[in-house]
Structure 1
Amino acid sequence: MRPVSWCLVLTLLASSVMSLSAEGEEAADSTSQNLALPSTATQLNDLRQKLADSERQRQTLVSQLQAASAEQQTIVLSRLRQENQRLKLQLKESQSVMPLRVLTEQQQWFVAGGGVALIALLCGIFASGWRRQRRQWLN
């Protein structure tokens, strides 16, 4: 035979040996998986039960938290209502003690300016002596 054909035969032989060894490993893996399946299934069931328990505990804690926050909100709301009533009473008391202002500061200044203008007009009328004189420009 030729040397090339010997190489071809050796390559085919090596590949067949490798495929046989791979099949043997797969068979060994499948038997070990078959043996491991029951333990994996029990672990999976245990984990599912733990998950269900954890979910139940989470739900109870969430409901307790909501109840506590609702209770706290009602307490805060009642305190705010009491404080609001107290402040309303304080406002009424302070308004009854202080007299109401008739004019604002700006209106007071306007009235004062009008009074000064009226006084100046009266002083001008009295200073002229009520006489009417015709005044003309001298050319």
Structure 2
Amino acid sequence: MGSRGPVPKRSDQRVRRNKDETGTVEKLPVVGQVAVPALDIEDPHPLIVDFYSSLKDSAQAQFYEPSDWQFARFTLHFANKLIQSARPSSQMLAAVNAALTELLVSEGARRRVRLEIEREQTTATVIDVAEMFRQQLAE
């Protein structure tokens, strides 16, 4: 897991006054893409299905290994039980939230491990609605 404490600022907002003390990282070269398994939960709540689908489309999913996908399925199994329970447990909610943090599903969790996603926004033309109405009224 990353650092403790408050969520760090994004790298473009940080000012470093001292040396960055990150240690060396051992890298394991692996070839090939990871297959995303089916959710395979009995009677899943629609929120759980949507959440798993969003995990597949999220940028951090490119770092997931097969064990990460199984951990996601395991976590969502309990999240499904939590949602469908008549008496949801606060302890189970805390455990599910902690597990989802391990999967880097939130911005804060990604920043703690120094992972920033920069999604490009589509370009769109801005329409001045007031000007459009003035033109229509003038006609």
What TM-score do you get using the length of structure 2 for normalisation? 0.18
Instruction: Point out which structure has higher relative CO (alpha carbons under 8 A, 6+ apart).
Output: 2
What TM-score do you get using the length of structure 1 for normalisation? 0.18
Which is greater in Rg? 1
